[in-house]
Amino acid sequence: MHSIKLSEKEYILNLLHEVKDPEIPVLSIVDLGIVEKIEISQDKIYIGLLPTYNGCPAMDIIQLLVREKLYDAGYREIKLELLRQPHWSTDRISQQGMDAILAYGMAAPDISTRISELIDGVSHLSCPRCGSKNTSLISAFGSTPCKAMMRCDDCKEPFEYFKCNGFR
């Protein structure tokens, strides 16, 4: 049996997979697609993060969680930066992340359904509980600005929709 030695960058990426989004705790920040840069020079670690939305309140907590994770792993010189470019979009969420969002009971971002269409009464979103496409918008804003409140008109259960802001 031989062991596989990870590069330091891969090791740090694995550590960041353990940092969860505080608003969707089943989703790592790597699967969310906000880790844009990892740079290592001597004993210094630089992490560039992309905010999901302007003014996202979770970014302060995420930076704290990243700093704690790296510190606990022995890193002391850590620089975190919130980047303005490229713009984050829901297109950056990994398939594993999309699956985790659905398993969590939320409707994952769907490029075919923008919030403006939901407001106009058009919904193609499937209920994460029963799978019905007979869903409707309750509120354009859910527990956070990046989510909308939906209702399944068949099973009558409310659910959140992670609003799409993709570029495709």
All domains of the chain in start order, with CATH: 8-88 (3.30.300.130), 106-162 (no CATH)
pLDDT digits (tens, 9 = 90+) for 127-163: 999 999 999 999 988 888 888 899 999 999 999 998 8
Q: What's the chain's length in residues?
A: 168
Q: Tell me the per-residue pLDDT of 114-123, one tens digit each, with 9 for 90 and over.
A: 666 666 676 7
The rounded distance, in Å, linking the Cα atoms of 81 and 114 is: 30
pLDDT in tens, 92-112: 999 999 999 999 999 988 766
**DSSP notation for 93-136:** S-HHHHHHHHHTTSBPP-TT--HHHHHTT---PPPTTT--S-EE
pTM: 0.84
pLDDT tens, position by position, 40-96:
988 899 999 999 887 788 999 999 999 999 999 999 999 999 999 999 988 899 999
* E-state strands within the chain: 35-41, 44-49, 77-82, 135-139, 147-152, 158-162
